[in-house]
Amino acid sequence: MNTVVSEPIVVMPVARKDGSYALRLCLSQGELSIGMMKRVMDVMTAYGLPTLRATTGQRMNLEGIPKDKLDEIVNALGTAVEKCPPGVSVCPGSAECRYGQQETRELGRKLTSLVKENGPYPFKVKSGVSGCSFGCGLSFVRDIGLVGKSTGWDLYFGGSATSNPGPGVALGKKLHEDEVLDRVRQALAFYKENGKKGERIGSMVRRLGHEAVAESLK
Ligand code: SF4
């Protein structure tokens, strides 16, 4: 039988209201390798931790960490960061899903790098990449949303699934991959320049109007 080698994980501590902590596993596209799973299982077993819970952002939270064990458990898992990299939800896309019009994983990785490299922003930026119009990558309700079509990518900007919920405004249809990433870069630059501190993209778009954002992309 093959031996599984445990792999370190980057985690973000999250304070809970009862004084305990959760540790968010900073996963990319929700993927957990077998080595990472072993590390988590070993730590959960060693410290008697009861629950690992999936988040809506395709990450996982290890719950119920006592405050006095936090540092020890972080070290056992890997390393801690103040914030996980920007969240990008990515559906399986055409490589795995029969409805998929476009492959999503690689574009998801490029979008993650782009969002990270162009920050910081007035507030958090969450993105979604979906391989077709069903939008399983939450593209319609993310700050940046890409939706695969048979001939390219549609771009949505300023969607929200929290307060003031609603879909993002369309900033382009059937764009080539390079074109859509370039437009995302421009839209994020507009947000950096015009967003107020603590203001999500959707609120900024409502305040300034769809036309102002679209005009800046010309
Ligand atoms: S958005 Fe489309 S391609 Fe992606 S998982 Fe849903 S149905 Fe499949």
Residue 138: the pLDDT is 95
What is the predicted pLDDT for the residue at 124? 92
pLDDT, the chain, mean: 95
Q: Range(s) for CATH 3.90.480.10 in the chain?
A: 9-80
pLDDT beneath 50, residues of the chain: none
Nearest ligand 1 atom to the CA of 135 is 1
Decide if 213 contacts 192 (C-beta within 8 A).
no
Residue-level pLDDT at 1: 60
Distances in Å between the Cα of 33 and the Cα atoms of 28, 43, 156, 188 are 11, 15, 31, 32
CATH class of the region 88-216: alpha beta
Among 29, 58, 88, 91, the mutation site with the greatest number of ligand 1 atoms within 8 A of its Cβ is: 91
Beta-carbon contacts of 68 under 8 Å, excluding residues fewer than 6 positions away, are none
pLDDT of residue 173: 96
Q: Which residues of 50-70 are buried (b: 16+ CB within 10 A; e: fewer)?
A: eebeeeebbbbbbbbbeeeeb
pLDDT value, residue 45: 96
Max CA pair span of the chain: 61
What pLDDT is attached to residue 40? 97
Beta bridge partners of 147: 130, 154
CA of 149 to the centre of ligand 1 (A): 11
| Tens of pLDDT, residues 154-177 | 999 999 998 788 999 999 999 999
Mutate to test the pocket of ligand 1, among 94, 98, 132, 156 (most ligand atoms within 8 A of CB): 132
pLDDT 10s digits, 46-73: 999 988 999 988 999 999 999 999 999 9
Ligand 1 and 93: CB distance under 6 A: yes
Residue-level pLDDT at 110: 96
CATH 3.30.413.10 domain locations along the chain: 88-216
Which architecture, in CATH terms, is 9-80?
A: Alpha-Beta Complex (3.90)
Whether the CB of 102 sits within 6 Å of ligand 1: no
Predicted pLDDT of residue 99: 97
